[in-house]
Structure 1
Amino acid sequence: MPKTPLRAAAAIGGTADDVEAAFYEALQRGDIDALMACWADEDEVFCVHPGGPRLVGAVAIRAAFEQMFGNGAIHAMPARVRKIDSLASAVHNVLERIEVLTAEGPRHAFVLATNVYHKTAQGWRMVAHHASPGTAREPDDANDPPQVLH
């Protein structure tokens, strides 16, 4: 069996970025086991889907994603990532571009999400995913300061 990005990241001491890539790949494949492997094994992990309640714990999070995957994979592509990283935690704010297939053809929606990662004994894992209700148009980031390398 080939290694998934998360297994490879865990085996070589990957980063929060590696876990985030594995999370979005699992969404796009509708792979619940790969998706749940991204989450920390902690009782207080939480997830909030757009317009939904706060889901606490792996059992509740898994059930919600299984229900969503019942309608097929989730075609979400992260973009415009803003990061705050430290030695043991990372916070990523992403613009998720969601593709929805309709009778008129593919449509896109945009969701702002915040993903929080902690460095655990098993390596980097997600501890929180919070997504806000989406928009039909891509948000304007005109007020965002330009990214500068130091």
Structure 2
Amino acid sequence: MSTKTKLRAATVGGTADDVEAAFYEALQLGDVDALMACWADEDEVFCVHPGGPRLVGTVAIRGAFEQMFAKGAIHATPARVRKVESLASAVHNVLERIEVLTAEGPRHAFVLATNVYHKTAEGWRMVAHHASPGTVQAPDEADEKPQVLH
């Protein structure tokens, strides 16, 4: 899918997968307008960044991303997506690989994120993004096996 197609997917419909691709592309480009096109225009949408407060509503979410993008784009690449989908909603749990530039060169951090999408009158849109710190090092293949708590 081309860049133009991915960004358009967030504005005219597409699937939850298309909107997710557009969201991560907007992060990498530092494009707040393209990123906000992925979000539903609803009062109760929310976003939680690692270690941050819960942001409710598109105004608060836009403000937070504008502050983040003022420092540069966010080089986040989603991997190991787990999905729960229905006709009108989709929940994606992803491992985000974040590239951080340091004096010693690029380093990678990992963030666990849950993205929730609803099918709205405008098409699929993000209604929640909740990210929390992941592992400090690259997770190994053992993380791929299902874990049972009880």
Give the structure-2-normalised TM-score.
0.89
- Counterpart residue number, 1:94: 94
Structure 1 residue runs without a partner (length 5+): none
> For the Cα contact (< 8 Å) 2:10–2:18, is it kept in 1?
yes
**Cα separation, 1, equivalents of 2:26 and 2:6:** 10
1:99-110 correspondence to structure 2 within 5 Å: 99-110=99-110
> For the Cα contact (< 8 Å) 1:50–1:134, is it kept in 2?
no
**Cα separation, 1, equivalents of 2:48 and 2:10:** 25
Q: Deviation at 1:4?
A: 4.8
- Counterpart residue number, 1:49: 49
**Cα separation, 2, equivalents of 1:70 and 1:87:** 37
> For the Cα contact (< 8 Å) 1:96–1:110, is it kept in 2?
yes
**Cα separation, 2, equivalents of 1:40 and 1:103:** 38
Structure with the largest fraction of helix? 2
Change (3 A) 1:33 1:125: same
SS, match of residue 132 in structure 1: strand
Deviations along 1:92-128, one digit per CA (max 9) or x if unpaired, are 0000000000110000000000000000000000000
| Superposed CA RMSD | 1.7
Matched, 1:31 2:31: yes
Q: Deviation at 1:144?
A: 3.8
**Cα separation, 1, equivalents of 2:143 and 2:71:** 36
**Cα separation, 2, equivalents of 1:100 and 1:26:** 17
**Cα separation, 2, equivalents of 1:142 and 1:134:** 15
Change (3 A) 1:9 1:47: closer
How many residue pairs are counted as aligned between the two chains?
A: 144
Matched residue type, 2:125: R
Name the % identity. 85
**Cα separation, 2, equivalents of 1:5 and 1:144:** 28
**Cα separation, 1, equivalents of 2:143 and 2:61:** 34
